[in-house]
Amino acid sequence: VFQGTPLLLQLFLVFFGAPVLGLEINPWVAAGAALILNSSAFLGEIWRGCIQAIPGGQWEAAQALSLPYLSRMRDVILPQAFKIALA
């Protein structure tokens, strides 16, 4: 939702939409919240792409070692995805 809309629209939605929901917030807090939501949408997409760029053989190798999902991600997939994300 947040990635497909312009940042100015997101700022307006948070600032003017919060009072509609019953939240009276400071304009600086509204701007900060909108910027955080905007950047998290883009960073989430970057990390998703980096994780999907890891070859399937790496996933299969980690699974062949009978690693649980969290260990598989922490020890095998995410270090490789971090190298891709830095570029």
Q: What is the pLDDT of residues 52-73, one digit of tens each?
A: 999 999 999 999 999 999 999 9
Length reported for the chain: 87
Q: Give whole-number Cα distances, 10 to 27, 34, 37, in Å.
A: 13, 6, 9
- The structural domains of the chain, with segments of one domain joined by +, span 1-52, 54-87
> Which residue has tokens 């190298």?
83
Give the predicted TM-score (pTM) of the model.
0.73
> Could you tell me where the DSSP H helices lie in 1-87?
7-20, 27-52, 56-64, 69-72, 78-86
Lowest mean pLDDT segment, chosen from 3-7, 52-56, 74-78? 3-7
Q: Tell me which residue of 28, 29, 30 sits closest to 11, measured CA to CA.
A: 30
